[in-house]
Every structure is written in C-alpha cells, then in structure tokens.
C-alpha cells in the first residue's frame, strides 16, 4: 500500500478530536466511507529540511449510507527526509464547517 510506504511506522494522525496510529488510520481508510474522488487545493510548502510542513485543503467526494457528500478539510502534514526519502511523520485534518 502506497500510504504505508509514504508514512513512518511511528506516524501519528489527528482528525478533529481523534488521534490514530499509522495502522489505525490504514484500517479506517480501508473499512470507511467509499471515496470517489479526492484532491488537494492551495498547498503550501514550508521547508525546514530535513523537515517539511505542507498545508492546504483536502477535498473529498464520496458516499456513506447511500448518500453522496463533499467534505473539505484544512490539513497540516509533517514530512521528514531520512535515508534518502521523504516520509510523513504526522498529519492533522480539520473538517471545515459548511
């Protein structure tokens, strides 16, 4: 799974008031809502090599309980350059109220 390769084993994810490990987030992605499309808007890189912070808005279109939805999340992702590659070490998403 690409997500597992792009994140460190100690990866930590926060969404609103929930904190998850890498494994917990992967399980939530696999068993969660049906996502039809997702993309990023307004991404900005804050470079502090060997650490980088990326901010922006994640737009997700999908289906849950036979209803379609479009959600927008403000995100902050933290990446670390180590052993010749960039990997995410932490991510935070906040559902933008409609």
Burial readout 20-32 (b: 16 or more C-beta within 10 A, e: otherwise) = bebeebbeeeeee
Would you state the pLDDT for residue 90?
98
Architecture (CATH level 2) of domain 2-95: Roll (3.10)
> How far is C-alpha 22 from the geometric centre of its chain's CA atoms?
11
CB atoms within 10 A of CB 38: 12
Would you state the pLDDT for residue 16?
85
Read off the DSSP letter of residue 89: E
Would you state the pLDDT for residue 84?
95
The 10s digit of each residue's pLDDT in 32-47 is 788 999 999 999 999 9
**Euclidean distance between CA atoms 98 and 83, whole angstroms:** 41
Would you state the pLDDT for residue 33?
84
Would you state the pLDDT for residue 2?
86
Given a cut of 70, the residues of the chain with pLDDT beneath it are 1
Any idea where the domains of the chain sit in the sequence? 2-95
**Euclidean distance between CA atoms 39 and 35, whole angstroms:** 11
């Amino acid at each position: 799974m690409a997500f597992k390769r792009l994140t460190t084993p100690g990866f930590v994810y926060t969404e609103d008031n929930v904190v998850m490990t890498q494994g917990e987030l992967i399980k939530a992605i696999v068993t969660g809502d049906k996502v039809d499309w997702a993309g990023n808007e307004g991404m900005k890189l804050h470079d502090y090599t060997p650490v980088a912070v990326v901010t922006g808005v994640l737009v997700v279109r999908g289906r849950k309980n036979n209803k379609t939805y479009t959600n927008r999340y403000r995100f902050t992702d933290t990446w670390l350059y180590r052993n010749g590659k960039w990997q995410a070490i932490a991510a935070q998403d906040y559902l933008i109220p409609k």
